[in-house]
């Protein structure tokens, strides 16, 4: 993008903000800058960020030991759930980027060991429909804050799977079998962070992990659904 576009875009944004004051995409409170969420909503997400700690980690992902670490921002509830809903269904890709940046700040210690970020891909048909991959938006926010690259395109989704939430545990496995494949090589010895928006049973992340040739894989997700199994 040409360097002259930056100031032009900023000027356009200032004019737009004047004509249509920006609002928090979750609670609609008026916000001064292009902050996407208001301070109250960010604070609510920050406060709830440790609520996912669950002594009964009994789902597929945690039992499988495929991942070195499972790094999760919070529980899929409250403001975080509403924010993810806006990110996915209300055309708010910038919110994914912002959530990724915040997560990098709040989970800096856990994320320090990651060398490359790999977003869970969407099927091309789903990508056309939505216009963006929410996991790539989250990964790009994490990447900026952590200073690590995103390997987008290394993992392909060749099967347009049905929505996992609508299926039984058995159907979920079948639905995702052979859904992903790796394209090209991952850097040898690199510690990869596989990025997704929501963790339900972990079947999607597990299917991605099975398609990847790497020994060091961690999962990074914004929110975990409690009691999904
Ligand atoms: Zn708000």
Q: What pTM, to 2 d.p., does this model score?
A: 0.85
Cα of 185 to ligand 1 centre, how many Å? 42
> How far is ligand 1, taken at its centre, from the CA of residue 86, in Å?
12
Q: Tell me which CATH code domain 52-224 carries.
A: 3.40.50
138-167: pLDDT as tens digits: 999 999 999 999 999 899 998 887 676 677
Backbone φ, ψ for residue 115 (5° rounding): -100, -35
Q: What is the pLDDT of residue 1?
A: 46
**Residues having C-beta closer than 5 Å to ion ligand 1:** 24, 26-27, 29, 38, 41
Which residue has 């989704």 as its token pair? 157
DSSP 82-145: HHHHHHHHTT-HHHHHHHHHHHHHHTHHHHTT--EEEEPPPPHHHHHHHSS-HHHHHHHHHHHH
Residue 154 CA to ligand 1 center (angstroms) comes to: 35
- Measured in angstroms, how far is the CA atom of residue 157 from the centroid of ligand 1? 34
Domain boundaries, the chain: 52-224
Nearest-angstrom CA–CA distance, 220 and 87: 17
Q: Is 221 helix (H, G, I), strand (E, B) or coil?
A: strand
The predicted-structure confidence for 7-39, as pLDDT tens digits, reads as follows 777 777 666 665 567 899 999 999 987 789 999
pLDDT at 199 over 80: yes
DSSP class of residue 74 equals E
What is the predicted pLDDT for the residue at 188? 86
Spacing, Cα 97 to ligand 1 middle (Å) = 17
Query: How many angstroms does the Cα of residue 173 sit away from the middle of ligand 1?
Result: 37
């Amino acid at each position: 993008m040409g360097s002259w576009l930056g100031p032009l875009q900023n000027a356009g944004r200032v004019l737009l903000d004047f004509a249509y004051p920006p609002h928090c995409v979750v609670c609609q409170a008026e916000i001064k800058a292009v902050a996407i969420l208001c301070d109250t909503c960010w604070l609510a997400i920050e406060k709830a960020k440790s609520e996912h700690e669950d002594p009964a980690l009994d789902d597929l992902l945690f039992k499988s030991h495929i991942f070195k670490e499972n790094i999760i921002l919070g529980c899929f509830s409250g403001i975080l759930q509403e924010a993810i809903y806006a990110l996915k269904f209300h055309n708010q890709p910038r919110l994914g980027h912002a959530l990724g940046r915040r997560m990098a700040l709040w989970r800096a210690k856990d994320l320090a060991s990651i060398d490359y970020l790999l977003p869970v891909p969407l099927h091309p048909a789903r990508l056309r429909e939505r216009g963006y991959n929410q996991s790539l938006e989250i990964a790009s926010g994490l990447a900026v804050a952590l200073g690590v690259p995103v390997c987008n395109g290394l993992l392909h989704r060749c099967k347009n799977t049905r929505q996992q939430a609508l299926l039984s545990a058995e159907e979920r496995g079948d639905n995702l079998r052979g859904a992903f494949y790796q394209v090209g090589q991952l850097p040898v010895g690199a510690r990869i962070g596989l990025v997704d928006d929501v963790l339900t049973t972990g079947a999607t992340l597990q299917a991605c992990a099975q398609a990847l040739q790497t020994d060091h894989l961690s999962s990074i997700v914004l929110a975990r659904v409690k009691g999904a199994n």
